[in-house]
A and B are shown apart, each in its own frame.
Chain A
Amino acid sequence: MSSDDERGCLGCDEAAATAAEEAAAARRAEVAVASGFLVSTAGAIGLAVVYWQGGQPQLEGLFLALALGGLGLGFVLWSRRFMPHDPVVEARHPIASTEEEVDRFRQEFEQGEVILTRRKLLVRSAGLAVAALGAALLFPLRSLGPRPGKGLKDTPFRRGVYLVTADNERVRAEDINVNGVLTVFPEVEPNPEDPEEPPRPALQADSPTLLIRPSGTPRPQRDMEDGIVDGLVAYSKLCTHVGCPVGLYQADNHLLLCPCHQSTFDVLDGAKPVFGPATRPLPQLPIGVDDEGYVVARGDFNAPPGAGFWDRDK
């Protein structure tokens, strides 16, 4: 895309046009530029009126666009039509300094350098102090967050913790119908300081769990045989890829699909990944029921829920 294609008109000769035609053209162009400015003025007034009348996003945008666009168009037309187009040439000068300048700089710098290097002890100890200061200034960064401890690996689920809905209501096993799915969380205690405040178990970001009663017989993960309550299974809702909630349950073929990156897990087969980028099955939560039929955890997940990390197996 060079300006080659313009070359045909480079030699175009304006002199051919008669003076009268030129004047008329100039007049037309002047009208065009001026109308741009007038449209802009009208747009600005419109904008003020719309705002004054209570505002309306579409009209605000439209009038603002007219006000800005009319002005812009006027400026561009003005420059195109009424400003000289003759190319101007500017010379480039070498970017690098001349040898002479470099030499003079070097001499001056070395004069100072000599003074410095004469006191080796001072230079070295100053360097040490600066390095130590730099290192010391890094320490406050540590305040930004706690040491990543067990938090990534465990959740509030323990043996005996009830599974509750987002409203902190316990769930009976028979509440989940066949082909039904419910997102549950570890039960939370009401805030002792403010018992009126509704508890929000859903704020526990690492422990959303899916209670599913698939229409077939689910095969549990290894060593989780007694973590299933007659056909009801509990799997972490967090994808093992990058932790999106695996919310899409396809009841007819018992698949859980992650809407973010399409990892797919087979609920009947230990929530193993069958498609997409996820490499690990969804962690299973061992569950049981209490005397009244409420679903209760029998321990934590059998693996850290959510995305993988460096020492997850340690």
Chain B
Amino acid sequence: MARDRLVTRRVARWMDTRLGSAKLARTALGKVFPDHWSFLIGEIALYSFVVLILTGVYLTFFFDPSVNEVVYQGSYEPLRGVEMTQAYASALDLSFDVRAGLVMRQIHHWAALLFLAAMVVHLMRVFFTGAFRRPRELNWMIGITLLILSIFNGFAGYSLLDDQLSGTGLRIAHSITLSIPVVGTWLASLLFGGEFPGPDIINRLYVIHILLLPALIIVLLTAHLGLVVRHKHTQFGGRGRTERNVVGEPVWPRFAFKSIGLLLLTAAVLAALGGLAQINPIWLYGPFEPANVSAASQPDWYMAWLDGALRIFPPWETRAFGYTIPNPFFPAVLLAGITFMLLYLWPFLEAKFTSDTVEHHLLDRPRNRPVRTCMGTATLAFYLVLSLSASTDVIAVTFGTSVNGVLVSFRIAALVVPPIVAVVTYRLCRELQLRDEEAGMAPPERPRIRWELLRVWEWPGRRKEAKLAASRSTTAVD
């Protein structure tokens, strides 16, 4: 033991004399992490990503992203002798003939679902507690970008296997690309390398899925974590916790052990799911044939909102001067664009509307920001309704009702539910605040929301006033 320690010390010393690493390492070990369970959600996402990388690398050794037609001769009887692409055949081999291949494939797929689920809950945590405010706006935007990239990467991975379900998904993706005004046909052609399905699409998706997007995700993830270190972690208010300190536990040893424990538990849950719960049984779906389709074709959960929007959007499209803006553009491209644009802009919009431009390191309790909270829950309710709309057919069959009735109900629900949720949330926040006051807690200072900013036509006048005020204040200082 003693000898060992000596060797490690000698190595450490050697490193330090070349890198000066001791000082850095000491700073790292001393970093303080506030102790609240909700701060671990982002870590679950991070660790799912670690599992994704590890299992994904394993899968690349066996998967062959080629669209060459082959006749399957593997060990899955009910497809033997069927013509299929090399990509699909190698995915079958991975599932049936590579030892431990299926469990890796399933862990990888479950990890993708978990990665996105954890990201969304992490985003909710950051949103509802106001952790995106100055100085963390940039990190918020990096986070949103990570979410978008991960959704795309999930879809690319799901589409690689070239089974019937994913082929249908690709066809829809192609049509959505086509629907973009003016440039849609060009974009679709450049993306797919020609008309659908295109000779190169699987190979391109493979490069995108295993190289391009993961590289971007890793770079942004590093920046995301780097900024957490730079800004130091936010914390909830409490005894002794101020805007100028961080109270919590040091990295070494407790937090490190806890965090490694969480990594292992996340991996364990994914391994259990990967072994015990079947996901995406492509051998039952069969190879992709452009003319075939299965009932109940749905995307993975993180794309469900888009599929649901496509389903419940009314049959409207724009045709003028001989040009068409096809129906899918509105629920798919426009809705997604608005969604992510608002997410990107939220910190700035909120700062503008509350005139709040100072630094915040203490988190809000959601009840103390009722307007933000109710907008957040209403938006979530809207996307939840959209996501559920992606299963109209399954709901109709399960409950023995008409799919038409279910679809029309969701159309109505998408308009009615979010406002109701907003009102209920607002009332609930106020109730909780009142209860806090009764319990003797002083009401927190709450910024006035300048709703008058919505009056766009007053903006020019406002700008003039501001200029005047600015010049006046400078003269006063002089």
A and B touch in their complex, CB below 8 angstroms: yes
For the complex, is B451 an interface residue (Cβ under 8 Å from A)? Answer: no
For the complex, is B409 an interface residue (Cβ under 8 Å from A)? Answer: no
Q: Which 6 pairs of residues, A with B, have the shortest CB-CB distance?
A: A61-B275, A72-B264, A308-B326, A69-B268, A307-B175, A208-B291
Number of interface residues of A (CB under 8 A): 89
What CA separation (Å) do A133 and B196 show in the bound complex? 32
Taking CB atoms, residues of chain B closer than 8 Å to A311 are 185, 322-324
Which segment, of A122-130, A271-279, A285-293, faces chain B? A271-279
Taking CB atoms, residues of chain A closer than 8 Å to B245 are 89-92
Name the one of B99, B231, B275, B324 contacting A58, with C-beta atoms under 8 angstroms. Answer: B275
What CA separation (Å) do A92 and B106 show in the bound complex? 44
Q: How large is the interface on B (under 10, 10 to 19, 20 to 34, 35 or more residues)?
A: 35 or more
Residues facing A in B411-429 (CB within 8 A) are none
1/0 per residue, CB under 8 A from B, across A76-99: the answer is 101110011101111110010000
What CA separation (Å) do A205 and B246 show in the bound complex? 60
Q: Tell whether A204 pairs with B290 under 8 Å between CB atoms, given A83-B253, A89-B32, A89-B245.
A: yes
For the complex, is B297 an interface residue (Cβ under 8 Å from A)? Answer: yes
Q: Name which residue of chain B comes closest to A80, CB basis.
A: B258
Taking CB atoms, residues of chain B closer than 8 Å to A273 are 315
A203 in contact with B290 (CB, 8 Å)? yes
A261 in contact with B175 (CB, 8 Å)? no
Q: Tell whether A91 pairs with B244 under 8 Å between CB atoms, given A278-B315, A310-B323.
A: yes
For the complex, is B194 an interface residue (Cβ under 8 Å from A)? Answer: yes
What CA separation (Å) do A75 and B184 show in the bound complex? 53
Taking CB atoms, residues of chain B closer than 8 Å to A206 are 195-196
For the complex, is A147 an interface residue (Cβ under 8 Å from B)? Answer: yes
Taking CB atoms, residues of chain A closer than 8 Å to B237 are 2
Q: Name which residue of chain A comes closest to B193, CB basis.
A: A145
For the complex, is A200 an interface residue (Cβ under 8 Å from B)? Answer: yes
B268 in contact with A72 (CB, 8 Å)? yes
Q: Name which residue of chain B comes closest to A96, CB basis.
A: B135
A51 in contact with B195 (CB, 8 Å)? no
Which residue numbers of B lie inside 8 Å of A, CB to CB?
30-32, 35-36, 38, 69, 83, 99-100, 102-103, 106-107, 135, 168, 171-172, 174-176, 178-182, 184-186, 188-198, 230-232, 236-240, 243-250, 253-255, 257-258, 260-265, 267-269, 271-276, 289-297, 307, 310-317, 319, 322-328, 331, 359, 361, 363, 365, 392-393, 403-404, 407
For the complex, is A120 an interface residue (Cβ under 8 Å from B)? Answer: no
Other than A73-B265, A88-B32, A241-B310, give 12 A-B pairs with Cβ distance below 8 A.
Answer: A71-B264, A79-B255, A146-B193, A152-B185, A183-B291, A206-B196, A244-B293, A247-B293, A262-B311, A276-B407, A278-B315, A314-B322
A79 in contact with B293 (CB, 8 Å)? no
What CA separation (Å) do A91 and B297 show in the bound complex? 54
Q: List, sorted by A's number, 5 A–B pairs whose CB atoms are closer than 8 Å.
A: A203-B290, A242-B328, A244-B168, A260-B172, A307-B326
What CA separation (Å) do A4 and B291 show in the bound complex? 60
For the complex, is A111 an interface residue (Cβ under 8 Å from B)? Answer: no
B297 in contact with A244 (CB, 8 Å)? yes
Taking CB atoms, residues of chain A closer than 8 Å to B248 are 87-88
Which residue numbers of A lie inside 8 Å of B, CB to CB?
1-4, 7, 10, 51, 54-55, 57-62, 64-69, 71-76, 78-80, 83-85, 87-92, 95, 141-142, 144-148, 151-152, 166, 183, 185, 198, 200, 202-206, 208, 237, 241-245, 247-248, 259-264, 273, 275-279, 306-314
Taking CB atoms, residues of chain B closer than 8 Å to A237 are 291
Most buried by B among A55, A83, A144, A277: A277
Taking CB atoms, residues of chain B closer than 8 Å to A242 are 171-172, 175-176, 310, 328
Q: Tell whether A87 pairs with B35 under 8 Å between CB atoms, given A2-B236, A245-B293.
A: yes
B271 in contact with A68 (CB, 8 Å)? yes
Q: Name the distance in Å between B240's Cβ and chain A's nearest Cβ.
A: 7
A79 in contact with B261 (CB, 8 Å)? yes
B291 in contact with A202 (CB, 8 Å)? yes
Q: Name which residue of chain B comes closest to A141, CB basis.
A: B190
B276 in contact with A58 (CB, 8 Å)? yes
Q: Tell whether A2 pairs with B365 under 8 Å between CB atoms, given A61-B276, A241-B310, A260-B168.
A: yes
What CA separation (Å) do A4 and B432 show in the bound complex? 14
Q: Name the distance in Å between A50's Cβ and chain B's nearest Cβ.
A: 9
A90 in contact with B32 (CB, 8 Å)? yes
Q: Tell whether A90 pairs with B246 under 8 Å between CB atoms, given A242-B175, A259-B296, A275-B404.
A: yes
A259 in contact with B244 (CB, 8 Å)? no
Q: Name the distance in Å between A224's Cβ and chain B's nearest Cβ.
A: 21
Taking CB atoms, residues of chain A closer than 8 Å to B327 are 241, 277-279, 308
B292 in contact with A247 (CB, 8 Å)? yes
Q: Tell whether A57 pairs with B103 under 8 Å between CB atoms, given A62-B276, A310-B325.
A: yes
Q: Name the distance in Å between A23's Cβ and chain B's nearest Cβ.
A: 21
A60 in contact with B236 (CB, 8 Å)? no
A259 in contact with B191 (CB, 8 Å)? no
What CA separation (Å) do A85 and B249 show in the bound complex? 7
A79 in contact with B236 (CB, 8 Å)? no
Name the one of B103, B190, B261, B264 contacting A60, with C-beta atoms under 8 angstroms. Answer: B103
Taking CB atoms, residues of chain A closer than 8 Å to B178 are 152, 307-309
Q: Name which residue of chain A comes closest to B237, CB basis.
A: A2
B289 in contact with A202 (CB, 8 Å)? yes
Name the one of B189, B231, B255 contacting A148, with C-beta atoms under 8 angstroms. Answer: B189
What CA separation (Å) do A200 and B83 show in the bound complex? 10
A92 in contact with B361 (CB, 8 Å)? yes
B296 in contact with A78 (CB, 8 Å)? no
A313 in contact with B319 (CB, 8 Å)? yes
